[in-house]
């Protein structure tokens, strides 16, 4: 099998393609022949060594894959050899490879969704789409008609958050982007209005008649956290779903939160799925079902061969993407 290896924390340019022994099925796991792997900003951070305590090098990155069941480990039921599937490789990574061992409870049989979903789209979507579904439905617990703001509206996660909010009953959905050029690109992603991040406080208040929004979803981090409190209504919630900026954590006054009647929540799919795998798998099936039925669409900017993984990560590092990138094995 072929796999991408990161063995030093020096960024995307130092990814290496190597051959490794083929995987063998292990009890309780599925072995799949990977067709596609989704590429996200998390892999950029891994290549810099930013999660070395949790994922020591050398390692093979990759959080989401699609392909066909190659072998079924002892004790696994409900799958068959040759079945098309998508899976989240959140705990062991190893998605940037031509074979992967995956957990059945985090794997979705694509032929059971009730509508066709191609393998490339499934691999590009399963992690971010499941994150969007759970963050809006179970973390924020959105009510019909709520107004929300999404930062990084054209990113891998943001491109689904706006659409998912609309699908689950949101009223006004606003989004921020890093540059004016990206506003046009985001118009098909379910947003009622988009504006450049640098003046989002003023623009959000204008768009809501100075009332603010019921929730802000922030995958960016840094000073965006503090500024986002300014656009929340009383009892509004800031949902932290990432730190793509890589900036230092912003410390908030709990008394300020108390006095302003505002709320914080955090969500990461990796940690949640570790303790709630069954619920995560069910959410993934629901979310991918929406995608298969064309209720939501995936924005895929490019498909790269596995050997060009470094090029794909460099594009993400430069923050010059819309939607997702995919590797093809």
When pLDDT is averaged across residues 93-107 and rounded to a whole number, the result is: 96
pTM for this entry? 0.94
Is the Cα torsion angle 143, 145, 149, 153 positive or negative in sign? positive
pLDDT digits (tens, 9 = 90+) for 119-158: 999 999 999 999 999 999 999 999 999 999 999 998 889 9
- The CATH class given to the 2-125+273-328 domain equals alpha beta
**Residue keyed to tokens 């790269």:** 304
**Domain extents for the chain?**
2-125+273-328, 129-269
CA distance 36 to 38: 7
The CATH class, in words, for 129-269 is: alpha beta
Helices (H), the chain: 41-47, 119-134, 158-167, 180-185, 200-207, 223-229, 254-260, 269-275, 277-292, 309-317
How high is the pLDDT of residue 145? 97
210-248 confidence digits (pLDDT tens)? 999 999 999 988 888 889 999 999 999 999 998 877 777
Chain centroid to CA 228: how far?
21
Q: How far is CA 85 from CA 58, 89, 203, in A?
A: 27, 13, 42
**Residues near 91 by beta carbon (within 8 Å), at least 6 away in sequence:** 103, 270, 273, 274
Tens digits of residue pLDDT in 167-217: 999 999 999 998 887 777 777 788 999 999 889 999 999 999 999 999 999
Q: What is the pLDDT of residues 257-307, one digit of tens each?
A: 888 899 999 999 999 999 999 999 999 999 999 999 999 999 898 999 999
């Amino acid at each position: 099998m072929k796999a991408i290896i990161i063995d030093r924390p020096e960024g995307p340019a130092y990814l290496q393609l190597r051959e490794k022994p083929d995987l063998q099925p292990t009890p309780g796991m599925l072995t799949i022949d990977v067709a596609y792997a989704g590429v996200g900003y998390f892999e950029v951070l891994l290549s810099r060594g930013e999660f070395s305590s949790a994922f020591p090098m050398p390692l093979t990155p990759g959080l989401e894959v699609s392909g066909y069941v190659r072998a079924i480990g002892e004790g696994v039921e409900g799958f068959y050899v040759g079945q098309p599937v998508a899976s989240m490789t959140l705990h062991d990574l190893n998605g940037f490879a031509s074979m992967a061992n995956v957990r059945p409870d985090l794997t979705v049989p694509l032929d059971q969704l009730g509508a066709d979903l191609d393998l490339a789209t499934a691999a590009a979507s399963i992690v971010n789409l499941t994150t969007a579904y759970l963050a809006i439905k179970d973390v924020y617990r959105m009510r019909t008609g709520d107004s929300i703001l999404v930062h990084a509206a054209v990113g891998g996660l943001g491109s689904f958050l706006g659409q998912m909010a609309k699908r689950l009953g949101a009223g006004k959905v606003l989004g921020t982007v890093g540059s004016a050029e990206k506003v046009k690109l985001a118009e098909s992603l379910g947003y009622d209005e988009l504006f450049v991040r640098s003046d989002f406080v003023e623009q959000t208040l204008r768009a809501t008649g100075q009332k603010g929004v019921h929730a802000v979803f922030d995958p960016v981090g840094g000073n965006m956290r503090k500024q986002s409190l300014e656009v929340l209504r009383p009892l509004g919630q800031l949902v932290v779903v990432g730190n793509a900026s890589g900036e230092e954590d912003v410390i908030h006054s709990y008394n300020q939160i108390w006095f302003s009647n505002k709320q914080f929540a955090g969500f990461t799919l990796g940690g949640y799925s570790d303790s709630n795998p069954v619920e995560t798998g069910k959410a993934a099936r629901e979310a991918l079902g929406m995608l298969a039925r064309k209720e939501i669409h995936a924005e895929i900017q490019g498909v790269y061969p596995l050997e060009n993984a470094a090029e794909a990560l460099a594009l993400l590092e430069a923050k010059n993407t819309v939607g997702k990138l995919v590797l093809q094995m």
